[in-house]
Amino acid sequence: MWLSPIYPSPGLDLGYDVADHSAIDPLFGTLEDFDRLVADAHRRGLKVLLDLVLNHTSDRHRWFEDSRTSRTADHADWYLWRDPAGWRRGKPIPPNNWLSFFGGPGWTWEPRRGQFYFHTFLAEQPDVNWRKPAVREAQLDVVRGWLGRDVDGFRLDVFNTFFKDPDLASNPRRPFRLGALRAWSRQTHVNDRDQPELGGLLAELRAIVDERPGRMTVGELFDDRIDVAAEYATPRHLIFDFGLLQQPWRTDRIAAAIDRIEAAFGPGRWPAVVLSNHDQPRTASRLARGLRGADRDAVAKAAAVLLLTLRGTPFLYYGEELGLGDVKIPRAEIVDPPARRYWPLPIWWNRDQCRSPMPWRPGPNAGFTTSRPWLRLGPDAQTRNVALEAADPASVLAAWRRLIALRKTVPALQVGAFRWISRTPDMLVYARETAVASEAAVVAINFRGRPAEVPMDGWPGGRDGWAVAWSTTGAGAVGAAGLRLAPYEAAILRPSG
């Protein structure tokens, strides 16, 4: 279980503006409650990962509150402070052209110091100065503290932004290109992230985590370059790559994304497989756009097969196992900071839409709370919830449970190599293989809303060597002409011998 931030926070970025990295926000409980959660999870065979936000703090963190008071404060250089580049019409000019990802300049003026401070995100989220030895040690003490409370690992928020160019050189501008409407996209971000010092820090952090066997880390790469993601991947340290998450439900686009991942990571590195998260549209809304009812759920199930059978560690965002879709949030109820703050811009989607509460059962607020939920639930919460789907063998939840159970019994689906068998406009077929032939599995996914068929000539053992172990609709079968799949069906085949 990966928990998004549960630390004390003003909540301007919904917990990612951390005011104290070593405590629990009273909104969620106490440290004693957390210890009980971890212990109960471990008794159930579950592991708990914490979201560590180490690139920045809240501006209400005691370090920053002290830092902003003067240039001689105890924490004066714990953040990125710089003098203005000059003055224009009585106003200070920022030190360079770095931007905030949420819009506008990345520099905010602090009159008390007569300097700017840098923030990759909101002005209320100042970036810390990782080049300061005291900051480095304090941040690593946070890691040690949570390991001492028996957590099983960490998700590192935007980890490749920890270090910036020491000379604060401006970022080069990109040539104009269609789609780059935001100022952020019109820069090449070579000086405000991905600095050479990061490798040494990751090694130090991993050494601390490795003092407790079995712990893992996963880094959120603040970039869209698969080659950069692969460079940071090391044993027990995964990297979130969003190449698949950004693709439509098309065989050519999905296959090309898989090719890039396999080429970049190669056989020696292990990918993370991601189709959705708390910052992106949900799978059913993105991949099954325009579909309704059974077809929509069929695509959700087929996407689950893709996620759980590609090479790498799959990450499941809560609610996807029910086939939840995005929830439209009225303007007055939006809590997502950039959407709320920059509403005059033509924003058609905000992160609140993929963050609606988990519907557990029919009834008031779908069993999520007896009070008012922080966001509204989806309009189908009374019919699309855990209780009802758990009782329905044809539900999306039932498909997920069957898939996970199957994955646990097939070694190739866990650690096997990846190999394409065929790629057509309708269907993708690939094998997962180990050195033991009997452990192999073949995965076939029909991306179209019509029946599809794939010849099995050339498969190891031929057509008679394979049988459908499970499929999302139960219709998939091996016939005289090859493998037949129903519309949007996905099937997993095993050797029949």
250: domain CATH number is 3.20.20.80
Domain membership flag for residue 91:
yes
Percent of the chain with pLDDT over 90: 86
Per-residue pLDDT, 349 = 75
Predicted confidence (pLDDT) at residue 23 exceeds the cutoff of 70: yes
Edge-first strand listing for the sheet containing 81-82: 81-82, 115-118, 107-110
Query: Are 159 and 224 in the same domain?
Result: yes
The predicted structure's pLDDT at residue 181:
63
The number of residues in the chain equals 497
**Is 311 within the bounds of a domain?**
yes
Q: Give the CATH number for residue 485.
A: 2.60.40.1180
Q: What is the mean pLDDT of residues 151-166?
A: 97
What total number of domains does the chain contain?
3
Those residues with Cβ within 8 angstroms of residue 136's Cβ, 6 or more apart along the chain or in another chain: 130, 201
Range of the domain at 239: 2-58+130-390
In a domain? residue 271: yes
- Quick one: pLDDT at residue 348? 63
* Residue 312 and residue 263 in one domain: yes
* Confidence grade of residue 463 (pLDDT, cut at 50, 70, 90): confident
> What number of other Cβ atoms are within 10 A of residue 318's Cβ?
15
Q: Does the pLDDT of residue 343 top 60, yes or no? A: no
Give the pLDDT mean for 34-44: 98
**90 and 23 share a domain?**
no
- Its pTM stands at 0.93
Share of the chain above pLDDT 70, in %: 97
Lookup: tokens for 158: 């935007």
Q: How far apart are the first and last CA of the chain?
A: 38
pLDDT for position 179: 58
| CATH code, domain carrying 98 | 3.90.400.10
**Residues taking part in catalysis:** 157, 211
Averaged pLDDT of the chain:
94
Beta carbons of 52 and 220 less than 8 angstroms apart = no
Specify whether 29 is located in the same domain as 112. no
Contact assessment for residue 302 and residue 490, using Cβ atoms and an 8 Å cutoff: yes
Q: Over 80: is that where the pLDDT of 366 sits?
A: yes
Query: Do residues 110 and 216 both lie within one domain?
Result: no
Give CA–CA dist 266/270, Å, rounded.
8
What are the tens digits of pLDDT across the range 205-220?
999 999 999 999 999 9
- Tell me which of 352, 375, 390 is where a domain ends: 390
Average pLDDT, integer, range 36-55: 98
330 burial (CB, 10 Å; 0-12 / 13-18 / 19+) is exposed
Predicted pLDDT at 459: 84
Band of residue 347 on the pLDDT scale cut at 50, 70, 90: low
Which residue has 């016939």 as its token pair? 479
- HEC readout, the chain: CEECCCCCCCCCCCCCCCCCCCCCCCCCCCHHHHHHHHHHHHHCCCCCEEEECCCECCCCCHHHHHHCCCCCCCCCCCECEECCCEEECCEEECCCCCECCCCCECEEEECCCCEEEECCCCCCCCEECCCCHHHHHHHHHHHHHHHCCCCCEEEECCHHHCCCCCCCCCCCECCCCCCCCCHHHHECCCCCCCCCHHHHHHHHHHHHHCCCCCCEEEEECCCCCHHHHHHHCECCEEEECCCCCCCCCCHHHHHHHHHHHHHHHCCCCCCEEECCCCCCCCHHHHHCCCCCHHHHHHHHHHHHHHHHHCCCEEECCCCHHHCCCCCCCCHHHCCCHHHHHCCCCCCCCCHHHHCCCCCCCCCHHHHCCCCCCCCCCCCCCCCCCHHHHHCCCCCHHHHHHHHHHHHHHCHHHHHCEEEEEEECCCEEEEEEECCCHHHCEEEEEECCCCCEEECCCCCCCCHHHEEEEEECCCCCEEECCEEEECCCCEEEEEECC
Overall average pLDDT of the 79-87 stretch = 97
Radius of gyration of the chain from its Cα atoms, rounded to whole angstroms: 24
Q: Is the pLDDT of residue 497 over 90?
A: no
Give the Cα separation of 100 and 172 in Å (integer): 15
**What confidence tens digit (pLDDT) does each residue in 282-327 have?**
999 999 999 999 999 999 999 999 999 999 999 999 999 999 999 9
Give the mean pLDDT of 72-86: 98
User: Closest Cα partner for 12 from 337, 443, 348, 421?
Assistant: 337
**Does the residue 405 lie in any domain?**
no
Per-residue pLDDT at 103: 85
Out of 373, 390, 407, a domain closes at 390
Is residue 219 in some structural domain?
A: yes
| Listed residues 118, 146, 165: the one ending a domain | 118
